[in-house]
A = this chain, B = another copy of it.
Amino acid sequence: MHLPSQTRLRVRYAETDQMGVVYYANYFVWFEIGRVEFFRQLGWDYKQMEIADDCHLPVVEASCRYRAPARYDDEVIIETTVTALRASLIKFGYRLLRLSSDGNQLLAEAETVHVSVDKQMQKKRLPEKYQQAIRSTMS
């Protein structure tokens, strides 16, 4: 996997608010897309992690620093890395950039912290195969 994991999306009309910019909560929806693509680029399907391994990763902490507003129809890039990993805890870092021919612009930086749980929301160790592969992305 080339690091950081990158994924692109185009801003939807529904994601704007009456200030004419993207509503701040929607950035967290995008970061979730970044997480899913991080796993996909490692060769996994987050859907299968939930079904086959009964492994869910609810968020326990989330934070974002907004640098510049994203606007309707902007193309944005989400860069995702894992910045910390423990037995049943994983921390992602994100950078959100607006794609532009004269240099991409940083729109936001963020982190989310997740715990590994089963369907009953009981903490469980993140399976070894995920541990190893994720660790290989952290140099």
Contact = CB atoms under 8 A, between A and B. Distances in A.
B72 A18 contact: yes
Interface in A4-29: 12-14, 16-21, 23-29
Q: Give this chain's copy count.
A: 4
A83 to B, nearest CB: 16
Given A47-B72, A121-B69, A62 B18 contact: no
Contact of A62 (B13, B45, B64): B64
Contacts of A32: 12-14, 24-25
Contacts of A28: 24-25, 28
Contact of A73 (B14, B45, B56): B45
A66 interface: yes
